[in-house]
Amino acid sequence: MNGPSSAASVIAPSARYRSASNAGSPLAGGVELDAGAARAAVGRLASDLDLSVEETAAGIARVASAEMARAVRVMTVERGVDPRELALLAFGGAGPLHAAAIAAELDIERVLVPPSSGVLSAVGLIASELRRDLVESVLLGGESFTSGAAAEAVDRLARRGREELGDARDAEVRASFDLRYAGQAFELTIAGDPRPDPAELRRAFDAAHEERYGYSDGDAELELVTVRVAVARPRPELPAGERGESEDRGGRDAIFDGERVEAAVVRGVPAERLDGPAIVELPEATAVVPPAWTASPTGDGTLAMERAG
């Protein structure tokens, strides 16, 4: 779950919050926040809506959290996955700021804020393997859908992928196959061996179809529509990060669910369990721990937020 960086924000489980990001807090890259400019911008909208600055800021945050929660639903509930059984991974400049509100909306009990969460996409790019993804439409069905025919397509794509990667003798070849029942207008992608057994693909497709749509059809003809191949070289090893010392920064005025409270402020991942309400100032992001939530460090520097009780 990602979000844009926020200049001057206010947050709570229902997205009613104030002063989550302190203009005096240091940000990576030497970025300086301008709380006055943020207040002026929100103030103009507040004047148009005949609301206070705090009410308008809460509304802005509520809309942002609702949109991110909707996106999570698209990737989970609409695909038959129950988000309540999962942990929410918060990243991006404002991901940890909105995370608890989004988790509460989806009945998720646990939020994980990884190290370098604010620049996690950039870290992922650096740590990613060098890979070429190639696709070929084949449309094989009935007697033409054989292991040999599928393997020929995989081999063609694998040769092309190795050529595009240059010296790729150590490259790994991964194959997947877009399959459907004959007559369907949509496919499901099933991972398989570069020289696949059609019977194995059939069993995997039936199981995936059952999970996604609630049924499978053992009598329907299976069609192979598309062959997908990824040719990948090993990813580089990243150096181990060092966990910095946390610093108690006292308290800060905040509003949660319309109630003004004092939130504890910690700079860096706290050394021990932190009970909300609290604000954790990370190098590239701000994590908000609402009342009835806790935040605890893990061995690798991840901040684990959980609903108490």
Digit-coded pLDDT (tens) for 50-73: 999 888 988 888 899 999 999 999
Q: How confident is the model at residue 124 (pLDDT cuts 50, 70, 90)?
A: confident
The domain made up of 129-232 is a member of CATH 3.30.1490:
yes
Indicate yes or no: pTM above 0.75: no
pLDDT score at 147: 95
What's the mean pLDDT in 97-123? 90
pLDDT score at 253: 84
Higher per-residue confidence, 140 vs 167? 140
Would the pLDDT of 9 be above 80? no
Higher per-residue confidence, 118 vs 242? 118
What's the mean pLDDT in 85-109? 91
pLDDT score at 243: 65
Share of the chain above pLDDT 90, in %: 50
pLDDT digits (tens, 9 = 90+) for 143-196: 999 999 999 999 999 999 988 888 667 789 999 999 999 989 999 999 999 999
Would the pLDDT of 84 be above 70? yes
Residue ranges of the chain assigned to CATH 3.30.1490: 129-232
Neighbours of 110 (CB within 10 A): 12
